[in-house]
Amino acid sequence: MMSILEEQTLSSPFQGFSRAEWKSLNGHFNHNLGPRDLEQLHALNEPLTINEIEDIYFPLAHLLALHIKNYNTLRNDSHLFFQRNQQKLPFIIGIAGSVAVGKSTTARVLRRVMSMLPYKPTVELVTTDGFLYPNKTLVQRGLLNKKGFPESYDTKKLLHFLSAVKSGKKSLSVPLYSHLEYDVLPNKKLIIHNPDILIIEGINVLQVNSQRSPNSNKMFVSDFFDYSIYVDALEKNILTWYINRFESLRVTAFQNPSSYFHKYADLSTEESRIKANQIWNEINKPNLHDNILPTKYRADLILYKGSNHFVEDIKVRRI
C-alpha cells in the first residue's frame, strides 16, 4: 500500500530531482569559464561557483535544447503543412520568482550557458523592470509603494513587445530601468535583433492579472513563453538575503548622491535592518504572497534554493 507522500508524488504534474540526480544528467560542455566570468554573472551577496553552473545550468541548458529542437521541428513541419515558408521566431524563456531570490543571476547565467550550446545561438535577456510605469505615473496613481505589483507595470506595452517578437519583427527597442535612479530611463533603450532565444525575467511574468475587467482582452505575458522557470526558496531565507542585500547597498550604492535611496545612506546597521524589514513587510511580502508565489506551479520547471543560495532540488513538469 502506497504512503500519502508516494500518492502525492504520483499525482503531481511535476517530477522531482535532487541536486545529485540533476547533476548526473549533465552532458559535456566545452567551456573556459573563470573567476572573471563569475564576477560578471552573479549579483550582490549571491555566491556563484563553477560547480553551480556545471551541476545545475548545464543540465538545464541541455533540457532546454531538447525543447528548442522540438520547437524548430514543429515549426518546419508547420511550414510544410501550410505551404508557407515563414521566418524563424525566437524561443522565449520566462523566469519568475520573488524579489532577492536570485532571478537576475539565474537569467544571466542561463543566457551565457545557452549561448555556449553547440549551434551557438544568439541569446538576448530582457527584464520587465523597463516596463514599469515611470515614477511620475506611479505617484499620480498612488502606486509608488506598490512598485513591482502587477498594476505597476505597463502590461499593454509589454504584451505589444512580446507580440512583435512572436510576429518575427527584426528589430525592437526595449525600455531600460535604472536601479540607481529607481526609475525608467526615458531616453535609453535596448535594441534586440530577432535572437534565437529570448529570456524574459521578472517577478510577475507568470501572473495572469486577475484584476483586469471582465470585458478586457484575456491575453497574458506567459502566453508568449515557450518555457518557464520559477526560482524558489523558503521565505525566511529570501528575507535574510533581502536584508543582507539592503545593508550591502547601504554602504555602497546608496552612498551615491544620485541614488534614489541615498536617504538611507546614514542609517546605522541596526536601523538599516529595521528599515529593510519594514519595506519587506509592507511591500515585498504582500506581493510575494498575493501575486508571485501563487504563480509558482504555472512554471515548467522550479529551481529550489537552499539557505546558501545554491540550488538543492529541481522540479520539472511531466510531459
Closest to 107 in 3D by CA, of 116, 117, 97: 97
Cα gap 116→30, rounded to integer Å: 8
**Tens digit of each residue's pLDDT (9 = 90 or more) over 64-92:** 999 999 999 999 999 899 988 778 899 99
Look at domain 13-317 and name its CATH class.
alpha beta
**How does pLDDT run across 155-193, given as a tens digit for each residue?**
999 999 999 999 999 899 999 999 999 999 998 999 999
Burial environment of residue 115 by CB neighbours within 10 A (0 to 12, 13 to 18, 19 or more): middle
How many angstroms separate the CA atoms of 219 and 39, rounded?
38
216 or 76: which leads in pLDDT: 76
Pairing of strands 14-18, 311-317: antiparallel
**Band of pLDDT at residue 63, cut at 50, 70 and 90:** very high
Are 261 and 279 a contacting pair, CB within 8 Å?
no
Three-class SS state of 17 = strand
Find the DSSP H helices in the chain.
4-11, 19-23, 35-41, 50-52, 58-82, 103-114, 135-140, 155-166, 235-250, 269-279, 285-287
Residues whose CB is less than 8 angstroms from the CB of residue 213 and which lie 6 or more positions away in sequence, other chains included? none
Average pLDDT, the chain: 90
Comparing C-alpha atoms, which of 229, 285, 249 is closest to residue 98? 285
Which residues 6+ apart lie within 8 Å of 34 measured at CB?
none
Residue-level pLDDT at 219 = 84
pLDDT 10s digits, 38-59: 888 877 778 899 999 999 999 9
Total residue count of the chain as it appears in this document: 319
Q: Report pLDDT digits (tens) over 219-266.
A: 899 999 999 999 999 999 999 999 999 999 999 999 999 999 999 999
CB-count burial class (<10 Å; 0-12, 13-18, 19+) for 281: exposed
pLDDT the model gives residue 27: 65
Cell of 259: 541614488
CA distances from 43 to 104, 108, 188 (A): 7, 10, 23
What is the C-alpha to C-alpha distance for residues 145 and 3, in angstroms, rounded to an integer?
Answer: 46
pLDDT given at position 17: 96
- pLDDT value at position 7? 44
Other CB atoms within 10 Å distance of the CB of residue 278: 10
For the chain, which residues make up each domain, given as ranges? 13-317
| CA 227-228-232 angle, 5° bins | 155
Task: Read off the pTM.
Answer: 0.92
Q: Read out DSSP for 61-109?
A: HHHHHHHHHHHHHHHHHHHHHHT--PPP-PEEEEEEE-TTSSHHHHHHH
- Map grid coordinates 506567459 to a residue: 222
Beta bridge partners of 91: 197
Q: What is the pLDDT of residue 31?
A: 76
